[in-house]
């Protein structure tokens, strides 16, 4: 195996010349190679030679490669060729797949360098991966190992999913893999049905894994972390997933809803397919504030500031009940109390000079009402409760939003006036109530 794929060795009758090892995983190793016939650099993936031997492995590997080659999609790593090669010393042939060499880096490397991504960028990448999964699931291909290391980013920021079909092929290999306890997939991203080893794992397992990736892109951490793969698997099966708010991360409600649906324990509680989840992600993208995002920003290039004259994006048409279910959106005024709150909110949104003038007028009105109440009391009558309530209301608004007041002597004088006003009106209300109760 080492001689067959050593630097300088050739495969397929001299067509592919190995240039060096790029990386590898538990099932295969990827090499940089030169396609001598077409004069291009490609990625050549060959299965590891230390895996248990399976007589039907080469045929299954070839079928997977053919299915991947038929999957022509801009968000999937393209397959150019497939074959098998026998080493100089003979032995079992080594199957290999020749794919396009993506000039960029993996999403895993990108997250290690950047940390949490903005919501718009994370949703854009998730939508691209979902487009690839929708095309793959339509061809009856289930990835089963969606993780940042298997999502490659090109120079213009396009996401390409790699390693389709490898995990599903490995599950059909010799039963010795299961007997030795070899895990198929990556524990941190495996769905509960993968952890439990259920039969008939379908595309909804990939949606769960992508939900884990989306959570990691938004928060910079995994939803479930433990000291061992077994412990992580137990958490995936039995522990409810955390919300982003638990880690102090605020996202729009639709984004958290996407995560909740994708990370559901039961497959039937998730999105029914990748196309449905992608539609939800695109709706969340359209709901983001208008901004001009360059695809190159996902590779660490700072995107330009949003243009002031940029046309606002059209929001998706949603029922009014769905819009107002979000507590951050104001409900339409339906009662007099709602209208009063709306008027107060409009006053608070006024410019600071105007707001200060209104507060000063409210203070002045409250003390004029207080002076009028004193004159009425001295004349032998009691002030109407409406005047007392009006004065208290003026005093309350004049003293509202204390955190926005100017610091210094003005603030101290403001506090003194507020305290005196509350004492006056509070005492006046108590005396008035006591007098009314004592009248015969």
Angle (nearest 5°) at CA 364 between 360 and 366: 115
Give the pLDDT band (50/70/90) at residue 302: very low
- Alpha-carbon dihedral angle through residues 200, 201, 204, 205, given to the nearest 10 degrees: 170
- Answer whether 49's CB lies under 8 Å from 1's CB: yes
First to last CA, the chain: 109
Pick from 126-130, 301-305, 418-422: least confident:
301-305
pLDDT at 399: 63
Tens of pLDDT, residue by residue over 188-215, are: 999 999 998 888 889 999 999 999 999 9
Give the pLDDT band (50/70/90) at residue 415: low
- Answer whether 31's CB lies under 8 Å from 44's CB: yes
pLDDT at 85: 85
188 Cβ contact list (under 8 Å, min separation 6): 147, 212, 222, 224, 225, 232
pLDDT at 28: 76
Q: For the residues 28-49, what does the mean pLDDT come to?
A: 89
The number of beta carbons lying within 10 Å of the beta carbon of residue 274 is: 23
What would you measure as the largest C-alpha separation in the chain, in angstroms?
A: 119
Q: How far apart are CA 320 and CA 323, in angstroms?
A: 5
Of all helices (H) and strands (E), which one includes residue 82? strand 79-85
Tens of pLDDT, residue by residue over 340-391, are: 655 655 555 555 556 567 667 777 777 777 777 767 766 666 566 666 666 7
Q: How far apart are CA 364 and CA 387, in angstroms?
A: 14
Query: If you ran DSSP here, which 8-state letter would residue 406 be given?
Result: P
SS3 annotation, 185-212: CCHHHCCHHHHCCCCCCCCHHHHHHHHH
pLDDT at 290: 53
Tens of pLDDT, residue by residue over 213-239, are: 999 999 999 999 988 888 999 999 999
**CB contact burial 160-173 (16+ within 10 A = b; e otherwise):** bbbbbbbbbbbbeb
Tens of pLDDT, residue by residue over 322-348, are: 333 333 333 444 456 655 655 655 555
Q: How far apart are CA 364 and CA 370, in angstroms?
A: 10
> Would strands 151-153 and 105-106 be described as parallel, antiparallel, or unpaired?
antiparallel
Q: For the residues 4-21, what does the mean pLDDT come to?
A: 89
pLDDT at 308: 39
Tens of pLDDT, residue by residue over 80-119, are: 888 888 876 667 788 889 999 998 899 999 999 999 999 9
Mean pLDDT score of the chain, rounded to an integer? 75
Catalytic, out of 145, 206, 273, 326: 145
Query: If you ran DSSP here, which 8-state letter would residue 334 be given?
Result: -
Q: Is 145 a catalytic residue?
A: yes
pTM of this structure: 0.61
pLDDT at 23: 81
Q: For the CA atoms of the chain, what is the radius of gyration?
A: 33
- Answer whether 179's CB lies under 8 Å from 320's CB: no
Q: For the residues 42-65, what does the mean pLDDT come to?
A: 71
User: Which is more confidently placed, 334 or 2?
Assistant: 2
Tens of pLDDT, residue by residue over 251-287, are: 999 999 999 999 999 999 999 999 999 999 999 988 7
Q: How far apart are CA 112 and CA 114, in angstroms?
A: 6
């Amino acid at each position: 195996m080492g001689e067959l794929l050593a630097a300088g060795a050739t495969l397929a009758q001299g067509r592919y010349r190995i240039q060096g090892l790029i990386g590898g995983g538990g099932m295969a190793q990827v090499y940089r190679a030169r396609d001598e016939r077409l004069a291009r650099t490609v990625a050549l993936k060959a299965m590891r030679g230390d895996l248990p031997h399976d007589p039907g492995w080469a045929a299954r590997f070839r079928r997977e490669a053919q299915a991947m080659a038929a999957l022509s999609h801009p968000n999937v790593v393209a397959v150019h060729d497939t074959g098998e090669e026998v080493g100089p010393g003979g032995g079992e042939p080594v199957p290999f797949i020749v794919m396009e060499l993506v000039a960029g880096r993996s999403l895993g490397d990108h997250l290690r360098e950047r940390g949490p991504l903005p919501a718009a960028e994370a949703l854009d990448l998730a939508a691209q991966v979902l487009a690839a999964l929708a095309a793959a699931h339509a061809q009856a291909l289930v990835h089963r190992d969606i993780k940042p290391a298997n999502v490659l980013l090109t120079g213009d920021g396009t996401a390409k999913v790699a390693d389709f079909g490898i995990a599903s092929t490995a599950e059909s290999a010799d039963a010795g893999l299961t007997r030795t306890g070899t895990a198929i997939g990556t524990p941190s991203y495996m769905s509960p049905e993968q952890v439990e080893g259920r039969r008939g794992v379908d595309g909804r397992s990939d949606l769960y894994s992508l939900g884990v990736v989306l959570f990691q892109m938004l928060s910079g951490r995994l939803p479930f972390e433990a000291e061992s793969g077994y412990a992580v698997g137990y958490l995936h099966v039995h522990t409810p997933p955390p919300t982003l708010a638990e880690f102090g991360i605020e996202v729009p409600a639709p984004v958290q809803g996407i995560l909740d649906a994708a990370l559901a324990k039961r497959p039937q509680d998730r999105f029914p397919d990748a196309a449905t989840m992608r539609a939800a992600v695109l709706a969340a993208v359209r709901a983001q504030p208008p901004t001009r995002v360059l695809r190159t920003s996902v590779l660490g290039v700072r995107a330009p500031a949003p243009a002031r004259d940029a046309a606002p994006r059209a929001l998706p048409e949603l029922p009014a009940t769905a819009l107002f279910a979000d507590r951050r959106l104001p409900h339409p005024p339906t009662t007099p109390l709602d209208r009063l709150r709306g008027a107060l909110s409009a006053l608070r949104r006024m410019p600071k000079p105007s707001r200060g003038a209104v507060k000063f007028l409210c203070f002045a009105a409250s003390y004029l009402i207080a002076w009028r109440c004193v004159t009425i009391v001295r004349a032998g009558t009691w002030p109407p409760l409406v005047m007392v309530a009006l004065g208290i209301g003026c005093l309350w608004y004049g003293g509202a939003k204390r955190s926005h007041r100017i610091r210094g002597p003005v603030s101290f004088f403001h506090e003194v006036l507020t305290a005196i006003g509350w004492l006056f009106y509070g005492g006046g209300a108590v005396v008035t109530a006591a007098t009314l109760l004592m009248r015969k």
